[in-house]
Amino acid sequence: MYTIVLGIASITSSFFGRRGYFAHNCARVWSWLILATTGVEVTVRGLERLVPGRTYVFVANHQSIYDIPCLFWHIPFQLRIIAKESLGSFPMLGPHLKRTGHLLVDRSKPDRAGIIGWASRLTANGLSLIIFPEGTRSADGYLGRFKGGSIMLAMQAGLPLVPISVIGSRHVMKKGELTTRPAHVELIVHEPIETVATEQPDTQDVRALADRVRDVIRPSVEAEAARARP
Query: What does the pLDDT look like over 33-48, one tens digit per residue?
Result: 999 999 999 999 999 9
Query: What does the pLDDT look like over 50-81, one tens digit per residue?
Result: 999 899 999 999 999 899 899 999 999 998 87
Calculate the average pLDDT of the chain.
84
**Which range among 4-18, 62-76, 88-102 has the greatest average pLDDT?**
62-76
Residue 92 has pLDDT above 80, yes or no: no
- Angle in degrees, CA 102, 96, 89, rounded to 5: 90
Query: What does the pLDDT look like over 168-224, one tens digit per residue?
Result: 999 998 877 778 999 999 999 999 999 988 878 888 999 999 999 999 999 999 999
Residue 14 has pLDDT above 80, yes or no: no
Nearby residues of 7 by Cβ (< 8 Å), 6 or more positions away: 26
Q: Three-class SS string for 25-87?
A: HHHHHHHHHHHHHCCEEEEEECHHHCCCCCCCEEEECCCCCCHHHHHHHHCCCEEEEEEEHHH
pLDDT band at 106 (very low <50, low <70, confident <90, very high): low
Residue 87 has pLDDT above 70, yes or no: no
Give pLDDT, residue 66.
92
The DSSP output letter for 4 is: H
The DSSP output letter for 161 is: E
Residue 142 has pLDDT above 60, yes or no: yes
Give pLDDT, residue 112.
57
Q: What's the pTM value of the predicted model, to 2 decimals?
A: 0.87
The residue type at 48: E
Query: CB of 101 within 8 A of CB of 19?
Result: yes
Give pLDDT, residue 91.
59
φ and ψ of 95, to 5 deg: -60, -35
